[in-house]
Structure 1
Amino acid sequence: MEAIPTDPLARLRAATASRSAAGLRRTLRPRTPDDDGLVDLASNDYLGLARDPRLAAAAAAAAVEWGTGSTGSRLVTGSTQLHAALEDRLREFTGAAGALVFSSGYLANLAAVAALGRGGLVVSDAGNHASIVDACRLSRGRVVVTPHKDVEAVEKILADRHEDHAVVVTDAVFSVDGDLAPLADLHAAAVRHGALLVVDEAHSLGVIGKGGRGAVHALGLAADPSIVRSVTLSKSLGSQGGAVLGAPEVIETLVDTGRSFIFDTGLAPACVAAALAAVDILQIQPELPGYVRARAHEVAAMARDLGLETNDPAGAVVSIVLGAPEAALRGAAVCADNGVRAGCFRPPSVPVGRSCLRLTARANLSSDDLVAIRRALTAVAEMKVNA
């Protein structure tokens, strides 16, 4: 019989060494208040609101009035009048019947998918975000992962199911590839088979649809009770937190059974107030989402002109595939050397062989920023040729 190891950390050191050899180590890189002077193409601050003085003022005022924390779970002391106001504003802005605020978009997905899919069938797109993957596992239902954007596969699974209830879950805009899900076809399939459709609008709220109301709203399906949406407040809205949008029955179910709602401390009032201010800004500046999409197409066109493999962005995300993890790391370093901060995505965030630079457009990118971006992408293209 093999001896039981006496050092419980030995396997962790071995796994870390293995990740290092494969170019898969992660490193925290604290940034400075001025972003080190780099053009930011790595954050999810799509509308450029995270540093907007209107959001900062709203957050500061809320912290003074309500304190720095919410003091408890939403069902005890963690719900304030601000939380209720934000839920009302999100509901009105997105055309939903109801809204429920969480302390993160990740937790919103966990609650929506796990609670609604519990014990049933959960059909998930292969390209879905990690929060959805984890939520599927927590549902304790039968989880079937279908090929990316394959509506026929979804339809077949739904038609052949034996469970009495089913949930189809998808990102609206996928977080790495930046493409748009076939939401109308998925909705039609779900309706035909009596399933709920859960749509994660993290990368579409503030970017897609009239005034940034999201991909579901753009299809005219915002009020459909068979659709449940999750959103984040930490991307286009420049704050922190998340929410689930849906029919009253959905909201009631999450309040009663959503573990990541019931057992989590409520979102801090400062973040709630900042998100409220951001929705106000979107309503008075409905042109902002169009600026984001236009900038994303400009960046993608630059990459394409330079011979780099890129996507046709549906929203803000521009993905430049470089292949091996080491190539993506070098590409990010080359971008930084040329004044641009780029996201670097490697397995397991992307499939093996698809390590990439993930660039995110912002509504407030200037002409000077675009010059710097072209310079950085030119250097990446030269790096790839010389590799």
Structure 2
Amino acid sequence: MTVSRIAAPSVDRLAPWQFAAFVEANTHDMAYRPPVVDGPVGPTVVRNGRELVNFASISFLELDRHLPVQRHFAEGARAHGLSTSGSRMTQGICRPHQVLEDTIARHTGKERAISFATGLLANIGFVHAMSSSAHFDAGIEVRNHDTVFVVDRDVHWSIWKGLEGRDYGRNVHAFRHNDVSDLTRILERVRARKTVVIAESIYSADGTMGPIVDILDACERYGAISMIDDANGFMVYGPENRPYAREAAAIRDRADFVMVSLSKAIGLEGGAIAGPATAIDAFELLSGTSMFTAAIQPPTAYTAKRTIDVLADDPAIVDHYLAHAARFRRQMHESDTPTTPTDSYMLSVPIGNDAAALHMREWFVEDGYLVPVFSYPAVPRNRALLRLFPHAGHTEEQMDGFLRTLLTYRRRLGL
């Protein structure tokens, strides 16, 4: 029997898409072809055969030092399998998903939660559910194309992706980053019956903390629905002895919807939206990103629930980490290295010039450090920054070595 092969599209046939020209013009290899990582990721990472001190890991608590995560995962896999083997709508959810969603609802102070394979899908699904129009049968319909979204201009790409195609200036408005007076100005002008305000607790690019209490005050004053993306704050902030306690309490007690990520403090993958039960029930059909794709793997859901419980029952885990991150920030300030003015665990170091920042990234790799650089289009042109996640497993020697290296580069670039 002869097996026919389907030829890949030739370069000539792909020419109208300009992929080859785009790649050729991009002189920064790491920007489009990610290096290969071997072994587990933690305070260090082995990339392309080299061990680097890792300031890029968003799984920063190193929870395998505090609880047997791998044992929980294996236990969940044996009991529930490795895959959901179907969508929520065709087959249902696995028991670990229901238990996890109940746990997230309880810890966010909301009536119900729905989980998604990633936090990105949770955000896109939220926007779609709040703005979709659908007609299933007589009386079973929603018409929400007139929803108006007012978002902090620095919200995550996933929110902007969800808003793509909507009419900017009519159905979509952006207020200046963390500027409640600008939010109020827009809400005063819009005065729409269906208005949704979206902001973040801790912003991924620069680590700034949102003025949540004032944002929720504005929402309540103008009758707007609030959604807080708490991907970076979930299970980190809340107790009164920690930074951001007032805002964390407001998210729990006053925000209408909350998005959480399981890839940050929890150290796994997945996301969820928590909110009023009737809305979350409707999201099963209306979000799209839960109905038409697979859910989190059952052992991941199983392990995430137990990890959330451990963080709640043993607050010292996060307390110690936050003190560790605060010491690092203090050391940077003592060495005259500026960071963004915030008390979050993320440290952002302004560099400015995009080219200088990209050079710095490659120098760090040469000297044994993996340091993420945010440059255009992640941030405005020539407002590049280093975005650091201190890791619970970083030693004082590793952090001191990084700081000495950074100071050397700053002098070299005249910063």
The answer to whether the superposition gives a TM-score over 0.5 is: yes
Distance in structure 2 (CA, Å) of the matches to 1:155 and 1:293? 33
1:272-318 CA-to-partner distances (Å, cap 9, x unmatched) read: 12211211220232123333333333333333344434213432211
List alignment gaps of at least 5 residues for structure 2.
Answer: 1-10, 133-144
Structure-1 separation of matches of 2:259 and 2:246 = 11
**Residues 1:251 and 2:280 are matched in the alignment:** yes
The yes-or-no answer on 1:128 pairing with 2:155 is yes
Cα deviation digits, residues 320-360 of structure 1 (max 9, x gap): 12223332222223333443321122211111101221101
Contact 2:213/2:250 (<8 A) preserved: no
**CA separation in 2, counterparts of 1:270 and 1:138?**
36
Which residue of 94, 106, 110 maps to 1:92?
Answer: 106
CA gap 1:174/1:134 in 2 versus in 1, 3 angstroms: same
In structure 2, the partner of 1:137 is 164
1:347 alignment partner in structure 2: 376
Deviations for 1:138-173, whole angstroms, at most 9, x for unmatched residues? 667711111111112211222222532000001110
Structure 1 counterpart of 2:88: 74
Letter in 2 for 1:328: A
| Structure 1 residue 77: Cα displacement | 2.5
Aligned match of 1:165:
194
Task: Say what the alpha-carbon RMSD is for the aligned residues.
Answer: 2.7
- Aligned partner of 1:16 in structure 2 is 23
Bigger CA drift: 361-370 or 280-289?
Answer: 361-370
Q: Specify every segment of 5 or more residues in structure 1 that has no aligned partner in the other structure, as ranges.
A: none
Distance in 1 (alpha carbons) for counterparts of 2:345 and 2:79: 35
Q: Equivalences for 1:285-364 in 2 at 5 Å?
A: 285-364=314-393
| Bigger Cα Rg | 2
Task: Report the TM-score when normalising by structure 1.
Answer: 0.89
Residue type at the aligned position of 1:252:
D
Equivalent pairs, count: 380
Partner residue in 2 for 1:219: 249
SS at match of 2:103: helix
SS at match of 2:197: strand
Using a 3 Å threshold, how does the CA distance of structure 1 residues 57 and 248 change in structure 2: closer, same or farther? same
2:194/2:224 contact within 8 Å kept: yes
1:52 and 1:59, CA in 2 relative to 1: closer, same or farther beyond 3 A? farther
Partner of 1:269: 298
Aligned partners of 2:87 and 2:294 also within 8 Å: yes
Kindly indicate whether the alpha-carbon contact (under 8 Å) linking 2:118 and 2:270 is maintained by their aligned counterparts in 1.
yes
Q: 1:304 to 1:221 in 2, by over 3 A?
A: closer
Q: Tell me the SS of whatever aligns to 1:42.
A: coil
**CA distance in 2: counterparts of 1:87 and 1:30, whole angstroms:** 33
